[in-house]
Amino acid sequence: MLKDQTAIVGIGETRFAKRLEDTEWALACQAIKAALDDAGIDPSEVDAMGCFNQETTPEFDIARSLGFGDVHFFNQVAHGGGAACGVLGQVAMAVACGVANVGVVWRSRKRGDPSKRQWAGVQPRIADHWKWSRPHGLLRPVDEVAVTMRRYMHEFNVTREQLATVALSQRAYANNNPKAIMADKTLSLDDYLSGRMISDPLCLYDNCLESDGAIALVLVRSTDVDRHQQPVYLHAFSQGMSPQHQLMTDYHGHNPLQSSSWTTAANLWRQSDIQPSDIKLAQIYDAFSPMILYCLEAYGFCGRGEAADFIADGGMSQQGRLPVNTSGGSLSEVYLHGMNLLTEAVRQLRGEAANQVAAADSCLVATCDSTPNGAVVLRR
């Protein structure tokens, strides 16, 4: 069993900004080297690698550039924002079962470059699964999430003022995080309500940043942690894809408001000795703010239709029942397909976070609710 058999012993990040001059390759190398330095591990010891299938920094380029030795495992995980925990978990399995000894995972993106924005292009003809939604005006991920949020608001009598709590809470975290892109930009409820509408009912502040940067993590077997940075153990891991799900839209399942997160959550908690009532904080993928509400329910922190009241009552604040996205998340720290959620979880469990949660000894990290996805439980 994977439980507690591997540990994260190094994290590394580049500077975050709306636009950086370095290439995605250079940013990836910087983040991975920083993570290895944090762990006290020489690059020649790395023999397992994991990244996203949308990554433009191939494994061989990274290995050659940083001076890796023989590599025994490498993988890529699909589905963008749903991939971060899958990348980490799959490399952890390779290390735990002895295929490899030292693993690195990374994400490097230059979203500030319009040519790197996946949804900016226009196809002359749609022949794949998008043909079921694009002709009806669902052109971007925000449009698809907006449809589900409008339905959620109708079913559970949720207001925009309640939804605003997500953006406001994460901006408050970012205002106390010097590395956050939005560190110096406050956000009020009036600002939120007057924000430009992107896809009704989602306004500008319900959407993630477009930003540049890179993040990396290093993990080893738990038996090898003594000479490294304070370990953070990977306690449980699962990926999930529910019946009828496809990329982004989940309109074809029996209930579009019960996404693949429910599949992931059930399998995750089945493996875990640490249950939702024990979790001290969570880092939840937030390309769009409704995903926080959906995941709070899917992972069992509140009942169906109760998430809006949970956050409006301060539940995701630093002193709340479950502090969420304590670095500012994708809405206010940086958008790197959720990899910053993993590094923030590690900082919290090490006791090094800018918005440190008292007695933080366990953390859920969950990836994109709207895609096939994954999640991990990390513990100190």
Distance CA 251, CA 255 (A): 8
**Residue scoring higher pLDDT (56 or 322):** 322
pLDDT at position 200 over 80: yes
CB 81 within 8 A of CB 145: no
Least confident of 94-108, 135-149, 299-313, 330-344: 135-149
Output the six-digit token pair for 370: 């709207």
pLDDT at position 319 over 70: yes
Predicted confidence (pLDDT) per residue in 24-48, tens digit: 999 999 999 999 999 999 999 999 9
What is the average pLDDT value for the chain, to the nearest integer?
A: 93
Distance CA 215, CA 14 (A): 7
According to the model, what pLDDT value does residue 119 have?
A: 53
Distance CA 222, CA 220 (A): 6
Per the annotation, the verdict on 285 as an active-site residue is yes
Per the annotation, the verdict on 205 as an active-site residue is no
Average pLDDT of the residues in 48-53: 95
CB 77 within 8 A of CB 90: yes
According to the model, what pLDDT value does residue 359 have?
A: 92
Contacts of 161 (CB under 8 A, 6+ apart): 189, 193, 312
Q: Which domains does the chain have, with CATH numbers?
A: 6-112+209-379 (3.40.47.10)
* Options 152, 285, 294, 299, the catalytic residue: 285
Distances (CA, A) of 22 to 49, 68, 76, 199, 315: 22, 22, 23, 32, 39
Helix (H, G, I), strand (E, B) or coil at 285: coil
Distance CA 348, CA 346 (A): 5
298 — alpha (psi -120 to 50), left (phi > 0) or beta? alpha
Predicted confidence (pLDDT) per residue in 127-168, tens digit: 777 777 777 777 788 999 999 999 999 999 999 999 999 999
According to the model, what pLDDT value does residue 117 have?
A: 57
Contacts of 23 (CB under 8 A, 6+ apart): 110
- Strands lying side by side in the sheet with 373-379: 73-77, 48-52, 102-110, 212-221, 6-13, 232-240, 373-379, 362-366, 281-284
Phi, psi for residue 181 in degrees, rounded to 5: -60, -35
**312 falls in which pLDDT band (50, 70, 90)?**
very high
